[in-house]
Amino acid sequence: MKTILITGATSGIGQACAETFAKHKYQLIITGRRKDRLNALTEKLKKEYHAEVLPLCFDVRNFKETESALSNLPEAFSQIDVLINNAGLASGFGSIQNGQISDWEKMIDTNIKGLLYVTKVVCQGMIERKSGHIINIASIAGKEVYANGNVYCATKHAVDALSRSMRIDMLPAGIKVTNVAPGMVETEFSLVRFGGDAERAKNVYQGLQPLSAQDISTVIDMVVHLPHNLVVNDITLTPLAQASANHAIRS
């Protein structure tokens, strides 16, 4: 039985990935900061799919917490085959000149440093075993920039660069690295970005059909199950109504 670690599984893309891989008989390590949601998801995955699930509640921004949670795994969960670096967020939407330092720090610490912390701990075992697959959830905002996206876009450009760089560093160990760059996906992403303003979050997807979190997990599932010698290095996913970070058609 293969083991997958999904960061940020309490909502959206991470939660959809947890359900998809539970369905496909993976053992799951799911993480996030909201313990109640982690526990509820664990119960659901056990009940609906008879999955083996290890919920780990920690903040990826804290290296000590991350290291302590991930380097003391129970034996049965200790060999991680697939890591989905998904935990991330946008905080705020405004010009650089009006930006909040606390928003910038939250995004940089989560999207870049958190991804690095988790990867550093998890890749050691993969390198020893010369086997593994790391999926980094970047964004179309890591390929292009848009007005008021500044620091979020910069963090996702960093994820894109890290995916390319990791692929080179881990080449001798035969570890696959896939960069996934979604466009508009309806999750709690916009609600978080706009500080809980549900009306504003809804407007982001007004007049078009965004992707669902399940759309992303379907593609990740496909990418993980390709023949051993075939690697998807980078994949950009948008709804039909979106051509780029700056071009979408709305009714």
Q: Which does 12 bind (CB under 5 to 8 A by kind): ligand NDP, ligand 8X3, none?
A: ligand NDP
Least distance between ligand NDP and beta carbon 128 (Å): 26
Annotated catalytic residue: which of 49, 117, 152, 205?
152
Least distance between ligand 8X3 and beta carbon 112 (Å): 14
Q: Which does 245 bind (CB under 5 to 8 A by kind): ligand 8X3, ligand NDP, none?
A: ligand 8X3
Tokens of 18: 């947890």
Least distance between ligand 8X3 and beta carbon 144 (Å): 9
Give the start-end residues of each E strand in 49-91: 53-57, 82-85
Distance CA 1, CA 16 (A): 20
Residue among 127 and 191 whose Cβ is closer to ligand NDP = 191
3-state secondary structure of 176: strand
Residue 82's contacts (CB-CB under 8 Å, 6 or more residues apart) are 2, 3, 4, 5, 21, 26, 132, 133, 134, 135, 224
- Applying CB under 6 A, the residues found at the interface with ligand NDP are 7-14, 32-34, 37, 59-61, 86-89, 110, 114, 137, 139, 182, 184-185, 187-189, 192, 213
Binders in 138-177 for ligand 8X3, by CB under 6 A: 139-141, 149
Distance CA 82, CA 174 (A): 13
Candidates 75-83, 105-113, 133-141, 223-231: pick the segment binding ligand 8X3 (CB under 6 A). Answer: 133-141
Residue with tokens 């848009």: 146
Least distance between ligand NDP and beta carbon 26 (Å): 18
Binding residue count for ligand 8X3, defined by CB under 6 A: 7
Q: Are 102 and 193 in contact (CB under 8 A)?
A: no
| C-alpha distance across the termini of the chain, in Å | 46
Task: Give the strand order in the sheet containing 53-57.
Answer: 53-57, 27-32, 3-6, 82-85, 133-137, 176-182, 234-237
Positions marked catalytic:
152
Q: What residue ranges bind ligand 8X3 (CB under 6 A)?
A: 139-141, 149, 183, 189, 245
